[in-house]
């Protein structure tokens, strides 16, 4: 019986992180060839997944991104979808944040998503078919305390997905965002006890936190033909947000 993503080639950036790794594993499990990128992807444990092709790429370096995409095409001859999953934190009071703090987040998460999209988009347009998913975050509309750069970039990514979807939908390319809320990961564990305010923000209407696999399922849906009329949207994976009570 064929799997949902048989014969598909997907590029997942940030595949060394919790969300990128879970996404790469799920797509491979469902039949896709997954080109998994990241600076430390060579050391990332993907178990015995046979359909994962590791490709070291630094998304903060445009030359590295373009060279990585060229290598992807040389190896596989096509691309059916891109998942831009990159994250970096800069948590502090607004007045304590420096330009370097802001630029680090912008370089890694905002431009680190823009660069792979820019590299892959011409090929997707030529094929007249493809899907792009940007990983943003619930902070784009409901910012947690002391998460100013990350929340601002999440909002920018949501707007970017909407803009790209409208611009390139006529060319056969769908672009959507997935906005996770509190998700269980090494990063969230480090932040969990920082302040009472952050603990409050981490509470969700559906008891959480969510799992990286929950985000991966949402990404897989948006990449699939089941979402063929979903474009320029933002899909929350956040347990319904904070409870009213």
Per residue in 12-43, pLDDT (tens digit) is 999 999 999 999 999 999 999 999 999 999 89
Scan for tokens 């056969």, then name that residue: 172
Instruction: State how far the Cα of 242 lies from the Cα of 205, in Å rounded to an integer.
Output: 5
**Per-residue pLDDT at 90 exceeds 90:** no
pTM above 0.85, yes or no: yes
Structural domains for the chain: 9-236 (3.40.50.720)
**Tens digit of each residue's pLDDT (9 = 90 or more) over 122-139:** 999 999 999 999 999 998
Query: What are the CA-CA distances from residue 170 to residues 5, 40, 216 (Å)?
Result: 23, 36, 26
Q: What is the mean pLDDT of the chain?
A: 91
* Angular region, 146: left φ>0, alpha ψ -120 to 50, beta rest: left
User: Residue 240 to residues 118, 178, 182, 193, 202: CA-CA distances in angstroms?
Assistant: 32, 14, 11, 22, 12
Q: Are 238 and 179 in contact (CB under 8 A)?
A: yes
Is residue 194 scored above 60 in pLDDT? no
- What's the confidence (pLDDT) of residue 87? 81
Distance between CA atoms of 245 and 242, rounded to whole angstroms? 9
d(CA 204, CA 240): 6
Q: What percent of the chain has pLDDT over 90?
A: 73
For tokens 């997707």, the residue is 124
Strand partners, 177: 134, 234
């Amino acid at each position: 019986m064929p799997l949902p993503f048989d014969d598909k080639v997907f590029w997942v950036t940030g595949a060394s992180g919790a969300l990128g790794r879970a996404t790469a594993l799920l797509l491979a499990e469902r039949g896709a060839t997954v080109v998994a990128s990241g600076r430390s992807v060579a050391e990332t444990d993907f178990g015995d997944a046979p359909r994962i092709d590791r490709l070291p790429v630094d998304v903060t370096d445009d030359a590295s991104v373009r060279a990585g995409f060229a290598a992807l095409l040389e190896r596989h001859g096509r691309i059916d979808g891109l998942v831009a999953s990159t994250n970096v934190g800069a948590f502090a009071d607004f007045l304590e944040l420096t330009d370097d703090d802001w630029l680090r987040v912008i370089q890694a998460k905002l431009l680190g998503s823009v660069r792979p999209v820019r590299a892959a988009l011409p090929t997707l347009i030529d094929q007249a078919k493809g899907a792009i998913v940007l990983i943003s975050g619930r902070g784009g509309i409901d910012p947690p305390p002391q998460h100013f750069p990350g929340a601002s970039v999440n909002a920018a990514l949501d707007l970017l997905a909407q803009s790209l979807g409208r611009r390139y939908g006529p060319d056969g390319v769908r672009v959507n965002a997935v906005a996770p809320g509190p998700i269980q990961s090494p990063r969230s564990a480090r932040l969990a006890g920082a302040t009472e305010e952050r603990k409050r923000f981490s509470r969700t209407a559906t008891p959480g936190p969510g799992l990286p696999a929950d985000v991966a399922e949402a990404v897989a849906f948006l990449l699939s033909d089941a979402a063929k009329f979903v474009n320029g949207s933002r899909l929350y994976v956040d347990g319904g947000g904070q409870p009213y009570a």
